């Protein structure tokens, strides 16, 4: 075993890995950015190194600084956690080139799986089914239309270098193809610098089922059962469970063997997860992609298999081999994990970082809480807003579900809103109770209108302070209003709640245009003047109207990307667009003027 391992991450996952190191007698070295000088993960470690300023690019995403810290600390290996550099093949290579061990798969496997088209090719070669679709990048809209003509609509346009929902567009009819390909390409180029896209038949109500794999350096490859992560919103998973409910044992077994074949095909080592879409029939499954890292939801697998995945990762990386064989792997009972984010589910899951004034962690039999925060902790807005993961085990799914409801009842988080009210609703939702939910349920099928609003300090209950309040912006004291607007979403008429400042034509127009409404989008859009404002901090990815162009209210003017998704900013009035000296690629603050629309 290593004598010292550097953990190139922060928050709950850094602490998770540090705990495993301690249990194995390994010195755990933390790294931290300036904003994290007092963070719990720094105190949890045996040693800690400052690697740079707060922005991730200058610290947690900076390969040289991390490798430099590992050298200085005398660490022999680097565990990347999830997110940040965990699936960066160049980083993995740089770690190896520096004479250190990367606790993860070979860089070549990360690279193969980072390109979804090459991942499909690997699955093909391994005899594992993929969704019917194109095998190479689409060269033109005409080619895409020809494919869709042959296979039928709807089709999914996917960026080969997309991920997490970025660069995924659903096309219902030929007229929408050109714009969808353009949007998928822009998102992928913006995020990953490569825009190649391919097409797949779009499955309407799939479930997301994934297989946990472990592979040894000597070629031993095993799977540790499955997880269902279908309960998600905008590609952010909310609830995960193991095993996936309601799957016939032959299907489970076939999926496990498929995952092993994919891993073997590319000489995979260490922990990885093969993602599958399970069609509505509960039988037909298709390989989607492989995540070449430890995942957020790994604890549910640990609770049903009794295997410590981080211990195994460290053993594999050290060349000590796994302590389990396939024959040792059985699952017992049921585990559920919920992600507690500093977001307000009653306001469109608006991220609301702030200071955690109180934290009461649920305990009792079969309850686990993985967190990187504590009472008095200020959640830095620079990083993701995960407060912790609440994980429970029960002898069967119903017991686990009721135990989760009980544990959520014990949980107290003061100072910031959390996703807990959503989880309370989810645990008793008939669809979740019966396991008939799918990846589209939260967005398209569930009624979240009864969720209680967070009582912001100084609020009167009917209104709430603006998100990100306390950042000293001119909008920090704005009062939000709520009203219901009828929109068509995915062809379905729906009532949605729009939050805005006073009557906000731009908010409503923007929402109608994109078919999506969040409090965030609406919040900033209000203006009676000529200004078209950014509803959120983001990067300009396209101007849809040129300076001098005449537009009508509701027409698309600017495409912003933020929180991994495109947001369409529409004209709030009729008039002529005037530029303000901004260009594609510019990063704008929330509320920034993107253009003006003047009369005539
Ligand atoms: C799909 C799909 C339906 N049909 N592909 C979303 C992100 C990426 N991992 C793949 N995704 C999907 N691909 C076809 N052909 C539906 C999704 C999808 C999804 C998948 C897994 C978990 C959550 C999801 C939420 C929405 C859409």
- Given this structure, which CATH class describes domain 207-445? alpha beta
HSE value, Cβ hemisphere, 13 Å, CA-based, for 98: 24
Atom 8 in ligand 1: which residue has the minimum CA distance?
165
3-state secondary structure of 278: strand
The answer to whether residues 179 and 245 touch, using CB atoms and an 8 Å cutoff, is: no
Distance from the alpha carbon of residue 453 to the mean position of ligand 1, in angstroms: 30
CA-only gyration radius of the chain, Å: 24
Phi-psi region of 397 (alpha: psi -120 to 50; beta: other; left: phi over 0): alpha
- Beta bridge partners, 277, equal 208, 286
3-state secondary structure of 68: helix
Distance of CA 238 to the CA centre of its chain: 9
More confident residue, 298 or 544: 298
Distance from the alpha carbon of residue 121 to the mean position of ligand 1, in angstroms: 18
Separation of alpha carbons 79 and 29, rounded Å: 10
Separation of alpha carbons 351 and 468, rounded Å: 8
Q: What is the pLDDT of residue 472?
A: 31
Residue spans of the domains in the chain: they are: 4-103, 132-201, 207-445, 463-527, 531-598
CATH 1.10.287.110 assigned to domain 531-598? The reply is no
More confident residue, 188 or 125: 125
- Helices 89-97, 107-114: crossing angle, 10 deg rounding: 170
Q: What is the pLDDT of residue 485?
A: 56
pLDDT higher than 60, residue 547: yes
Max mean pLDDT among 44-53, 542-551, 558-567 falls in 44-53
Separation of alpha carbons 425 and 429, rounded Å: 6
Closest atom, ligand 1, to C-alpha of 131: 15
pLDDT higher than 60, residue 240: yes
- Tell me which residue has tokens 């939050």: 499
Q: Which residues contact 407 (CB under 8 A, 6 or more apart)?
A: 362, 364, 367, 390, 392
**Which segment of 122-126, 358-362, 569-573 scores lowest on mean pLDDT?**
569-573
Q: What pLDDT band is residue 528 in, cutting at 50, 70 and 90?
A: low
Segment 289-306 mean pLDDT: 98
Task: List the CATH code of the domain at 4-103.
Answer: 3.40.50.20
Q: What is the pLDDT of residue 12?
A: 98
- Tell me which residue has tokens 């590992």: 70
Separation of alpha carbons 58 and 596, rounded Å: 34
Q: What is the pLDDT of residue 474?
A: 30
Where do the DSSP E strands lie in 398-500? Answer: 412-414, 481-489, 492-500
Query: Which residues form the pocket of ligand 1, taking CB atoms under 6 Å from any ligand atom?
Result: 131, 156, 165, 168, 200-203, 206, 208, 232, 235, 277, 288, 439
Dihedral in degrees, nearest 10, Cα atoms 113, 278, 187, 386: -90
Among 134, 125, 122, residue whose Cα is nearest residue 159? 134
Q: What is the pLDDT of residue 488?
A: 55
Segment 158-172 mean pLDDT: 89
Separation of alpha carbons 504 and 378, rounded Å: 32
Atom 5 in ligand 1: which residue has the minimum CA distance?
202
In whole angstroms, how far apart are CA 48 and each of 7, 9, 371? 10, 12, 19
Closest atom, ligand 1, to C-alpha of 204: 3
Segment 9-19 mean pLDDT: 98
Q: What is the pLDDT of residue 490?
A: 56
Q: In this structure, is the dihedral angle defined by the CA atoms of residues 43, 44, 48 and 52, taken in order, positive or negative?
A: negative
The string of pLDDT tens digits covering residues 471-490 is 333 333 334 455 555 565 65
Q: What pLDDT band is residue 151 in, cutting at 50, 70 and 90?
A: very high
pLDDT higher than 50, residue 282: yes
In whole angstroms, how far apart are CA 429 and each of 83, 207, 426? 30, 17, 5
The string of pLDDT tens digits covering residues 21-55 is 999 999 999 999 999 999 999 999 999 999 999 99
Atom 20 in ligand 1: which residue has the minimum CA distance?
208
The string of pLDDT tens digits covering residues 61-76 is 999 999 999 999 999 9
CATH 3.30.1490.20 assigned to domain 132-201? The reply is yes
Distance from the alpha carbon of residue 107 to the mean position of ligand 1, in angstroms: 25
Distance from the alpha carbon of residue 580 to the mean position of ligand 1, in angstroms: 37
Separation of alpha carbons 164 and 385, rounded Å: 16
Distance from the alpha carbon of residue 156 to the mean position of ligand 1, in angstroms: 9
Separation of alpha carbons 231 and 433, rounded Å: 12
Q: What is the DSSP string of 290-320?
A: EE-S--TTHHHHHHHH---HHHHHHHHHHT-
pTM of the model: 0.80
Separation of alpha carbons 66 and 45, rounded Å: 15
Among 196, 224, 116, residue whose Cα is nearest residue 164? 116
């Amino acid at each position: 075993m290593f004598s010292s391992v550097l953990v190139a991450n922060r928050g709950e996952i850094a602490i998770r890995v540090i705990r495993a190191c301690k249990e194995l007698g390994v010195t755990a070295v933390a790294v931290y950015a300036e904003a994290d000088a007092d963070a719990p993960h720094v105190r949890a470690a045996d040693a800690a190194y400052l690697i740079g300023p707060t922005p991730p690019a200058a610290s947690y995403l900076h390969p040289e600084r991390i490798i430099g810290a590992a050298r200085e600390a005398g660490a022999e290996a680097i565990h990347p956690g999830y997110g940040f550099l965990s699936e960066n093949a160049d980083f993995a290579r740089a770690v190896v080139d520096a004479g250190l061990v990367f606790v993860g798969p070979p860089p070549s496997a990360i690279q193969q799986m980072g390109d979804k088209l090459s991942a499909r090719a690997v699955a093909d070669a391994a005899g594992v089914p993929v969704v019917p679709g194109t095998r190479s990048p689409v060269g033109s809209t005409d080619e895409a239309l020809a494919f869709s003509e042959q296979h039928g609509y709807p089709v999914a346009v996917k960026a080969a270098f997309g991920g997490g929902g970025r660069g995924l567009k659903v096309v219902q009819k030929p007229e929408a193809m050109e714009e969808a390909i353009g949007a998928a390409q822009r998102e992928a180029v913006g995020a990953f610098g490569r825009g190649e896209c391919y097409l797949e038949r779009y499955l309407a109500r799939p479930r997301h089922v994934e297989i946990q794999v472990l592979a040894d350096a000597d070629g031993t490859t095993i799977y540790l059962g499955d997880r269902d992560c279908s309960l998600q919103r905008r590609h952010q998973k909310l609830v995960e469970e193991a095993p996936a409910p309601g799957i016939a044992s032959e299907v489970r077994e076939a999926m496990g063997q498929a995952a092993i074949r994919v891993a073997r095909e590319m000489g995979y080592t260490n922990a990885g997860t093969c993602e599958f879409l399970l069609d509505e029939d509960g039988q037909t499954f298709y390989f989607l992609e492989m995540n070449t890292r430890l995942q957020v939801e790994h604890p549910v697998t640990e609770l049903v298999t009794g295997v410590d995945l981080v211990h195994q990762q460290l053993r594999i990386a050290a060349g000590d081999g796994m302590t389990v064989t396939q024959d040792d792997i059985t699952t017992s009972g049921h585990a559920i994990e919920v992600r507690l984010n500093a977001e307000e589910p009653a306001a469109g899951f608006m991220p609301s970082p702030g200071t955690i004034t109180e934290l009461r962690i649920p305990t009792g039999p079969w309850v686990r809480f993985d967190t990187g925060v504590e009472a008095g902790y200020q959640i830095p807005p620079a990083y993701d807003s995960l407060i912790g993961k609440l994980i429970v085990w029960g002898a069967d799914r119903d017991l686990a579900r009721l135990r989760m409801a009980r544990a959520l009842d014990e949980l107290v988080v003061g100072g910031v809103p959390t996703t807990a009210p959503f989880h309370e609703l989810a645990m008793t939702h008939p669809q979740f109770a019966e396991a008939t939910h799918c990846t589209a349920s939260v967005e398209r099928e569930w009624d979240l209108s009864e969720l209680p609003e967070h009582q912001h300090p100084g609020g009167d209950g009917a209104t709430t302070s603006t998100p990100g309040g306390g950042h000293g912006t001119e909008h920090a004291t704005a009062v939000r209003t709520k009203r219901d607007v009828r929109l068509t979403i995915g062809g379905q008429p729906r009532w949605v709640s729009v939050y805005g400042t006073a009557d906000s034509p731009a908010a409503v127009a923007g929402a109608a245009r994109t078919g999506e409404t969040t409090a965030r989008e609406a919040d900033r859009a209000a203006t009676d003047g000529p200004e078209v404002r950014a509803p959120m901090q983001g990067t300009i990815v396209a101007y849809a109207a040129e300076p001098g162009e005449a537009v009508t209210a509701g027409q698309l003017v600017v495409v912003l990307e933020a929180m991994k998704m495109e947001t369409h900013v529409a004209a709030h009035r009729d008039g002529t667009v005037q530029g303000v000296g901004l260009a594609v690629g510019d990063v704008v603050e929330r509320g920034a003027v993107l253009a003006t629309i003047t009369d005539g």
